[in-house]
Amino acid sequence: MSVYAKRTDRSNPIFKDRSNIIAAGEDVTVIPVPDNITLCNGCNQNIEQGYLIYLDEESLNRNLPYDLYCDKCTEEYFPSAVYVE
């Protein structure tokens, strides 16, 4: 099974209109995430460009990424990733 890495930048529509939802019992809080905030899951830096990581071919085909990583963290954590366009 292969892991796939797809180069993207923060203008990608996948980063538009996001929010974090915190639910505790019946209390629900929705916190909007600005479109220009794209954090690397490895080093937590706000990045302009990085790689969306897909854990299998089905996720890649359905555009359901695991998370976003900067260049350095992609190389460190996913050294055998298959790079796709």
Mode of pairing for the β-strands spanning 82-84 and 67-69: unpaired
Q: What pTM does this model have?
A: 0.87
What total number of domains does the chain contain?
1
Q: Tokens at residue 57, please?
A: 């071919």
Contact 65, 52 (CB under 8 A): yes
- Domain extent, residue 42, equals 4-84
Q: Rounded CA gap, 21 and 50, in Å? A: 24
Nearest to 50 by CA among 80, 20, 12: 12
Radius of gyration of the chain (CA): 14
Answer yes or no: is pLDDT of 81 > 90.
yes
**pLDDT the model gives residue 68:** 98
pLDDT 10s digits, 5-38: 999 999 999 999 999 999 999 999 999 999 999 9
